[in-house]
Structure 1
Amino acid sequence: MEVVNDFALTRLKVNKYVNNQEFARLSKEARQTFRAYSSNTGELGELFLYTFLEGQMRAPQILSKMSLKTTPGDYTKKSDGIHYYKLPESDKYHLIFGEAKMYTRLIEGFKKAFESIAEHQSGKEFEKSLISSQIENEFIEPEDKNLIYSLLYPTESVVKLKVSDAFGIFIGFEIKNYDGPGISEDGYEKWLKNTIMEYIQSKIGTIEKQITDNNLIGNNFYVYLMPFFDLKQTRTNLTKGITE
């Protein structure tokens, strides 16, 4: 719940509510940007991807697309969020375009993610222009605005940065729960980890083939995978808990 506000609203709007101590209004508006939980199959994955990129990678979100839902334009068919990341012990940056998918089968999730990335390759300039038009809403300090502009248009910037595109992928998928004889808590944890790793490793060849088939060789991917025992029902429950 704590990340919903920053995921769904612009920094400018969040700061305004916080400065006015209007926390209830802030929470309400953020939750209202989500579609109804009964028909919402995509936004929870986007929220997970945002949480991992911001929380685990420390890759700040550049643009809150949820906040643009009332803005005319076909942005909804583009990437599921845009972040930037400074590579450790380097002067290089990655501009990360997100794709979040939640499918029962892991391979189906990867297939759809790579297809979307391949389809959106030609639309990245549109997305950069979209970010550029929203910089004033997303960033307050002049140095932050200058950094983002330099990341978007490194050849035009006074401060020259080394920037390349990358892709953040979140896949939610389903596995079967343990149904064997009695087992200890440690034993169950070991079984769960082994089951997930064996399942993922068995799909690596197919995943690599999908990268090749979609002409994505040579790109950088940051991948987060999350297993569920009952993906459909859990997604509904979680989305309901966030939005109500």
Structure 2
Amino acid sequence: MPLQKYVAVREEDFNECFETYSLNYTSDGAAPVKINMHALKLNEFKQPCAKRLSKKIIYSYLVPYCLKDVKRSGSSKGEVEVWAEARDLFRMQKKTGEVGELILYFFVEALLKAPQILCKMGLKTNANDEVKGADGVHAILSEDRSLLKLFLGEAKTYQDFASALNSTFESIESLVTTKKIDHEYFLVSEHFRILDADLKDTIVTLIEKRNIEPVFACLISYDEDKYTNIDYIKDHPKFMDQIFANYVAKINAKINSDILFQRLEFNFFLLPTDSVEILRKEFLARLEGS
């Protein structure tokens, strides 16, 4: 596909961090819904290894996540300086949502093969600002270049799954009903990240004509208590099947609760862990140089 060659995240890097299996669900209802659950690989203490994931993303993908191709290619700075420039865009706050946004980027590029086409972090004028609107924008362009599938990101890292799910749909509702989604289209047209003038012209034209298929790509990472009170390795398949079916039912119930959501398309990535607080701490430690 025309955009696929610009995917930065390598599938083998994703597989280093996550178990080789995944659980998948695709709806057969009116609203197209895909739900995938992945588990972090375990460390030597049989705990989900957040450190491996944070090191892989922070050290390998921070720069392409944060900076446009033109800024990177035109820089006279060394790799370390460019990485530091990207790092300085982050809010070093305990409850930052930017960790989830980074992980969502990793998932969308590795699994959907949809490259990021808008570097929202690079649009910040102050590191203490939050990214407004969608948490990420990725795309797939049809072979005949007549349709743009636009993935609009929402990332939530909460201790409680229900709270994360509610917050996800509140954000999506705000984006759609207040027409903030039109601003996302404008940002892509004005700040397209890839150095390819013809490709940009094609995508800008499709956006102007609204030949777009928006998809909400949502990461929900949450605390799963069962990680710490069952024999994870022995009961792994059964454990994952049970919690996955439970969360699929909750997502579908939320979609079916509102006609607005029933008209949208979704792609969910579920990431259970023993502690989202530890997950955030690991990422912040890497960003701070620990």
How does the TM-score come out when normalised to structure 2? Answer: 0.70
Aligned to 1:217: 262
Q: In the alignment, which of 216, 240, 258 is matched to residue 167 of structure 1?
A: 216
In the alignment, structure 1 residue 10 sits paired with structure 2 residue 68: yes
Structure-to-structure mapping, 1:20-59, within 5 angstroms = 20=76, 22-36=78-92, 38-59=93-114
Aligned counterpart, 1:158: none
Aligned to 1:97: 152
Deviation at 1:174, TM superposition (A): 1.0
Alpha-carbon distance, 1:167 to partner: 0.7
Partners of 2:145 and 2:224 in 1: CA distance: 38
CA contact (8 A) 1:59 1:85 kept: yes
> Compared with structure 1, are the counterparts of its residues 233 and 75 closer, same or farther at alpha carbon in structure 2 (3 Å cutoff)?
closer
Higher helix share: 1
Q: Equivalences for 1:205-244 in 2 at 5 Å?
A: 205-214=249-258, 215-244=260-289
Q: Distance in 1 between matches of 2:235 and 2:145?
A: 39
- Residue in 2 aligned with 1:143? 198
Which residue identity lines up with residue 132 of structure 1 in the other structure?
S
Counterpart residue number, 1:119: 174
Contact 2:140 2:150 in 1 (8 A): yes
- Contact conserved, 2:147 with 2:206, CA < 8 A, in 1? no
Q: Which amino acid aligns with 2:255?
A: I
Residue identity opposite 2:114 in structure 1? A
Q: In 1, distance between residues paired with 2:233 and 2:72?
A: 39
Provide structure 2 residue ranges, at least 5 long, that are not aligned to the other structure.
Answer: 1-58
- Return closer, same or farther for 1:14/1:235 CA change in 2, 3 Å cut-off: same
Query: Structure 1 length normalisation: TM-score?
Result: 0.82
Q: Count residues in correspondence.
A: 225
Q: Deviations over 1:123-143 (max 9, x none)?
A: 1111211222223xx232222
Query: What corresponds to 2:229 in structure 1?
Result: 179
> What secondary structure does 1:216 align onto?
helix
Alignment check: 8 A CA contact 1:107 1:207 kept: no
* Equivalent residue in structure 2 for 1:192, among 228, 236, 239: 236
Q: 1:111 to 1:4 in 2, by over 3 A?
A: same
CA distance in 1, matches of 2:164, 2:143: 29
Q: Aligned-pair RMSD on alpha carbons? A: 2.5
Match status 1:84 vs 2:139 = yes
The 3 A distance-change label for structure 1 pair 88 and 49 is farther
Q: 1:174 to 1:34 in 2, by over 3 A?
A: same
The 1-side partners of 2:63 and 2:245 are apart by 36
The aligned amino acid for 1:174 is D
Q: Give the match for residue 70 of structure 1.
A: 125
The corresponding residue for 2:3 is none
Distance 2:247 2:270 in 1: 13
Distance 1:16 1:10 in 2: 10
Alignment check: 8 A CA contact 1:65 1:81 kept: yes
**Residues 49 and 169 in structure 1, CA contact (< 8 A), matched pair in contact too:** yes
- Offset at 1:178? 4.1
Give, in whole Å, the separation in 1 of the partners of 2:69 and 2:237: 37
Give distance in 1, aligned partners of 2:264 and 2:202.
23
Identity score, percent: 26
Q: Is the 8 A contact 2:155 2:219 kept in 1?
A: yes
The match for 2:36 is none
